[in-house]
């Protein structure tokens, strides 16, 4: 490699290649659908998850997102809970 940044790019690539064999230090969490339910049973995902689009005013979405975050919940868990309460499960 030539140029002003060639050595820097080469060094970065070497470091990247060294990290590929090592596990990353990122924390991961299970999707809400795989976390134990409130009654203690383990939920197993047997089919792929899909998106559910709902159009709402931006101001309401911002308010709801902030409230969910303050309460330590996700919008997904709140919506799924409301739909299950209204319509049940198959």
Alpha-carbon gap, residue 80 to 49, rounded angstroms: 12
Residue 75 and residue 68 in contact, taking contact as beta carbons nearer than 8 Å:
yes
Tens-digit pLDDT profile for residues 14-73: 877 776 555 555 555 666 555 555 555 556 658 898 999 999 999 999 999 999 999 999
pTM: 0.47
Domain-by-domain residue ranges, the chain? 51-90
Phi then psi dihedrals of residue 67, to 5 deg: -65, -40
Residue 64 and residue 75 in contact, taking contact as beta carbons nearer than 8 Å:
yes
């Amino acid at each position: 490699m030539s140029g002003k940044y060639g050595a820097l790019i080469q060094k970065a690539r070497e470091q990247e290649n060294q990290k590929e064999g090592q596990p990353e230090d990122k924390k991961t969490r299970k999707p809400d659908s795989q976390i134990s339910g409130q009654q203690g049973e383990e939920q197993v995902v047997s089919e792929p998850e899909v998106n559910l689009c709902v159009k709402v005013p931006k101001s309401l979405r911002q308010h709801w997102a902030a409230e969910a975050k303050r309460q330590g919940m996700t919008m997904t868990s709140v919506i799924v809970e409301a739909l299950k309460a209204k319509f049940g499960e198959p």
